[in-house]
Amino acid sequence: MLGAMWSYRGFVLGSVKREFQAKYRNTMLGAAWTVLSPLAMILVYTLIFSQVMRSKLPGASSEFAYSIYLCAGVLTWGLFAELTTRLQNMFLEQANLLKKVSFPRVCLPLIAVLNALVNFAIIFGLFLLFLALSGQFPGWIILALVPVLLLQLALALGLGMVLGVLNVFFRDVGQFFTIFLQFWFWLTPIVYPVSIIPPALRSYLAWNPMMPIIESYQNLLVGGRMPDWAALLPAAALAALLCLLGLKLFRKRAGEMVDEL
């Protein structure tokens, strides 16, 4: 499979480029919107929560602490939500391509991942620039986010692959997950710190695999603390399990999916 993806690397990279260009075709500012939209969001969060509402994060003295906490959670959750949503619909959206063109079907998840990463790199790069300009950049410890990001991608890829295959045969899967994703967002400490949750409920939130991932981003970017690698192990095990399950479903049902589509 890796050999097939490498052989079709031109097709994969060309697809990523075409989708990026198509997103901003017929707009006056073109690709500048990829910068303006996330920049506006970061500035609004900073202005509203640090200057207008004077929101404070428990245990943090910086006036930008809550804004950074919120941006770190929202931006990284956005990557997860975008990737899982794209993956669950990828076979339906590319039905004509699957039926007419012969190519390794595994290229489709790779294209979805690369597209999501391009968007995230632009947004998160602007966020890091904001941290540097505001004097809140955590330093070289930022490199510890790389394994956290890889874990997040693996979890989203595995879950998205499973949903993508199931969604071809049972269209209710995509509708259900769209609703479920909204509840999942609010059950993850993104807009609120975990410290305000009653202790009796924290044990239930521990079953949320995205909680330690989002907390790793927030703790590092707000307080400059290394991720709790032990807390990430259950999420890593689940990501590996979902990736294996998604791959097995994909390889077993690839032929049937074309007939179903």
Output the pLDDT for position 146: 94
Output the pLDDT for position 71: 85
pTM (2 decimals)?
Answer: 0.86
Whether 52 shows a pLDDT value over 60: the answer reads: no
* Side chain identity, residue 195: S
Least confident segment among 16-25, 32-41, 200-209: 32-41
Closest CA to 73 of 230, 160, 155, 193: 193
- For 200, the domain range is 2-260
| Mean pLDDT to the nearest integer, 20-29 | 66
| Mean pLDDT to the nearest integer, 124-140 | 87
Output the pLDDT for position 21: 72
| Mean pLDDT to the nearest integer, 107-123 | 87
Least confident segment among 34-43, 72-81, 102-111: 34-43
Which of 19-33, 94-108, 164-178 shows the highest mean pLDDT?
Answer: 164-178
Number of domains in the chain: 1
Per-residue pLDDT reduced to its tens digit, 192-235: 888 788 887 888 888 899 999 999 999 999 888 899 999 999 99
SS (H, E, C) 208-251: CCHHHHHHHHHHHHHHCCCCCHHHHHHHHHHHHHHHHHHHHHHH
Residue 240's pLDDT band (cuts 50, 70, 90): very high
Whether 46 shows a pLDDT value over 90: the answer reads: no
Mean pLDDT of the chain, nearest integer: 82
